[in-house]
């Protein structure tokens, strides 16, 4: 009897079938976050909350655009540039998008080399990613300057619906702030990687555990999120 009872208690609890089983697993934290570090879990929670904010911004923009009775400015005309006497629509935005998407590739390679403990290549690729991000922000600053000189303001613009200015500065400004913060952190983490803080476990921010390169992956999660958000901004704001 005793052996039977001991064997019964040692067995794994019975799993519920279907959606009830999935809900029970997540609620009891049996597998979903069992092997996830604190830092990575907190980043995912932050990204989830940021997703809601960007979603609210984009939904508000779509609502304002569809409900206004005043003609909405044509993005192909507003964001066009003149090169050699030719009017090229969205050329700056296309270059910005290409740069930011390319930075996701260099960030992914940085994470790969980070887990291989190749600190030189990891730091170099993180700095390249930061350079891409800084270039993106610089081009965005040029775009802002151009539109401000042409009369665009948060409370109006010379081409139609007044909501265009407020939507543009709010959405692109909030995203540009995220990119700027990412560039700063990329440079800071790359410096720590390059001087070997993660290899010796030097005390400091994110470096107290020897051989712990997960912060590079956490930084990668943030950067990929910023790039993904820009894809939605590009599609809804510049192409629509």
Cα–Cα distance measured from residue 187 to residue 181, given in angstroms and rounded to the nearest whole number: 10
- Reported as a single tens digit per residue, the pLDDT across 203-218 is 655 554 555 678 899 9
Instruction: Point out the least confidently predicted range of 5-9, 41-45, 53-57, 71-75.
Output: 5-9
Task: Quote the percentage of the chain above a pLDDT of 90.
Answer: 47
What is the chain's Cα-based Rg?
A: 24
Please provide the average confidence, as pLDDT, over all residues in the chain. Answer: 83
- pLDDT for the residue 213: 73
pLDDT above 70 (res 165)? yes
pLDDT at 33 over 60: no
Q: How confident is the model at residue 18 (pLDDT cuts 50, 70, 90)?
A: confident
Task: Report how far residue 21's alpha carbon sits from residue 34's, in angstroms, rounded to the nearest whole number.
Answer: 17
| HEC-encoded secondary structure of the chain | CHHHHHHHHHCCCCCCCHHHHHHHHHHHCCCCCCCCCHHHHHHHHHHHHHHHHHHHHHHHHHHHHHHCCCCCCCHHHHCCEEECCEEECCHHHHHHHHHHHHHHHHHHHHHHHHHCCCHHHHHHHHHHHHHHHHHHHHHHHHHHHHHHHCCCECCECCCCCCHHHHHHHHHHHHHHHHHHHHHHHHHHHHHHHHCCHHHHCCCCCCCCCCCCCHHHHHHHHHHHHHHHHHHHHHHHHHCC
Distance CA 224, CA 110 (A): 12
pLDDT tens-digit readout, 89-115: 889 999 999 999 999 999 999 999 988
**What mean pLDDT comes out for the span 225-239?**
93
Percent of the chain at pLDDT exceeding 70: 81
**Res 193 pLDDT > 50:** yes
Nearest to 157 by CA among 147, 171, 145, 172: 147
pLDDT band at 155 (very low <50, low <70, confident <90, very high): confident
Q: Which CATH superfamily is domain 37-238 in?
A: Cytochrome c oxidase, subunit III, four-helix bundle (1.20.120.80)
Q: For residue 63, what pLDDT band results from cuts at 50, 70 and 90?
A: very high
N- to C-terminal Cα distance for the chain?
A: 72
Residue 151 has pLDDT above 50, yes or no: yes
Give CA angle at 156 (150, 161), nearest 5°: 105
């Amino acid at each position: 009897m005793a052996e039977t009872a001991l064997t019964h208690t040692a067995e794994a609890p019975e799993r519920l079938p279907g959606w009830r089983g999935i809900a029970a697993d997540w609620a009891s934290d049996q597998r979903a976050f069992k092997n996830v570090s604190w830092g990575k879990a907190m980043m995912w929670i932050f990204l989830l909350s940021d997703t809601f904010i960007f979603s609210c911004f984009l939904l508000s923009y779509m609502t304002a655009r569809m409900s206004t009775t005043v003609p909405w400015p044509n993005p192909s005309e507003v964001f066009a540039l003149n090169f050699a006497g030719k009017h090229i629509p969205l050329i700056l935005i296309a270059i910005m998008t290409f740069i930011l998407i390319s930075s996701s590739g260099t960030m992914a390679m940085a994470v790969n080399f980070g887990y291989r403990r190749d600190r030189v290549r990891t730091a170099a690729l993180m700095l390249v990613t930061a350079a891409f991000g800084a270039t993106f922000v610089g081009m965005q600053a040029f775009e802002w300057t151009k539109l401000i000189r042409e009369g665009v303001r948060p409370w109006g613009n010379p081409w139609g619906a007044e909501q265009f200015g407020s939507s543009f500065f709010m959405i692109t400004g909030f995203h540009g702030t995220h990119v700027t913060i990412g560039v700063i952190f990329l440079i800071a983490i790359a410096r720590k990687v390059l001087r070997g803080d993660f290899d010796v476990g030097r005390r400091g921010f994110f470096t107290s555990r020897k051989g712990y390169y997960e912060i590079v992956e956490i930084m990668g999660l943030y950067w990929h999120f910023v790039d993904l958000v820009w894809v939605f901004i590009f599609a809804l704001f510049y192409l629509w």
